[in-house]
Amino acid sequence: MKKTATRLADGRELIYYDSHDDAARDALDRRPLPPATSSSEVRRHPLLGEHVGYAAHRQTRTYHPPADQCPLCPSRGDRLSEIPAESYEVVVFENRFPSFSGDLGRCEVVCFTSDHDASFADLTEEQAALVLDAWTDRTDSFSQHPGVKQIYCFENRGAEIGVTLGHPHGQIYGYPYITSVTERMLRSLAEHRTRTGGGNLFDQVVADERADGRRIVLQTAHWLAFVPYAARWPYEVHLYPARRVPDLLALDDAARAEFPGVYLELLRRFDRIFGPDVPPTPYISGWHQAPFSLEGRELVREDFALHLELFTIRRSPGKLKYLAGSESGMGAFVSDVLPEAAADRLREVASKE
């Protein structure tokens, strides 16, 4: 992998990731942009103990532009975009409209391919491996940012999810706090360790799924994918490496080599859940990694288990799972699809050998 860092016209960082060492990346951003400015604020909810971020400048972010004005396509001729080069493999750059910035974290955009009409599931295994390399490199970089306590590499796919740019891309959030979801995981992890005299809850969850077997979707030498016992979403899959590691940096070469094929298969199965005549499945996919510091806790980073969570809000053709009164107001999920039934369907739509 070759990594080439440059700056956009407004001072934001942009990084090209190429699979070949001879790739030349010297194109300059020719747009007349003023220096990048943004303002973020974080407040803590006193009753829920959760953080809420505020970024009013995001009200003016790009919203569903025509395909010929996509800011994530390469720059060609007089059509200038966020990427100065005429072509690229994988690109990461600082978000022009970040949720967190400066001393309060960092937000980046990851473009998976220069092909506007593709999706992650259309990538080759070599292309997917390069995205994994980029995620890993950015995790390393974010770990050195004094304002970042946790990193989340994720993709929102589909207008139903709320995506405002159709080009295949994801984001990386460097939060200035530990998110409430991770806080709950850490609390459960610590309670289980105390209750069992040193046991690891992540290991127990994986062992229970292996023993039960009904919800396993895909299993290889180095990865296990399953619908969790208490899945909240209609179709939800958790993907764990066979060896527990705290983050992407700690994945061994064997797991890294096997990941592209496993992940692409899962995404392609998601697109087949509802049949060939239904539009591509909207989904959210994201890596849960250990926070960079667990200072003041009895846990260490190695107690946390890196895993990817992939889910869709579509519950059947033409019907979405809306978070209405119970879910939005009380955080009390009620799902329309049993986890065992979801797992059955995801096995049924496996790729043919």
- Length of the chain in residues, anyone? 353
Question: Is the separation of the CB atoms in 22 and 47 below 8 Å?
Answer: no
- What's the CA gap between 268 and 210, in Å, rounded? 23
- What's the CA gap between 139 and 327, in Å, rounded? 31
- What's the CA gap between 78 and 151, in Å, rounded? 36
DSSP string, 2-20: EEEEEE-TTS-EEEEEESS
Beta bridge partners of 5: 15
* Residue 338 neighbours by CB under 8 Å, 6+ apart: none
Q: Is 169 one of the catalytic residues?
A: yes
Question: Is the separation of the CB atoms in 215 and 225 below 8 Å?
Answer: no
Task: Return the DSSP state at 319.
Answer: E
Helices and strands in the chain, H and E counts: 6, 15
Q: Which residue has the tokens 């939005």?
A: 328
| Joined tokens for residue 18 | 């190429």
Q: Which is catalytic among the residues 20, 57, 169, 222?
A: 169
Handedness of CA 173, 179, 184, 186 (dihedral sign): positive
Between the alpha carbon of residue 200 and those of residues 25, 186, 196, 205, 325, the distances in Å are: 46, 11, 8, 9, 35
What residues act catalytically? 169
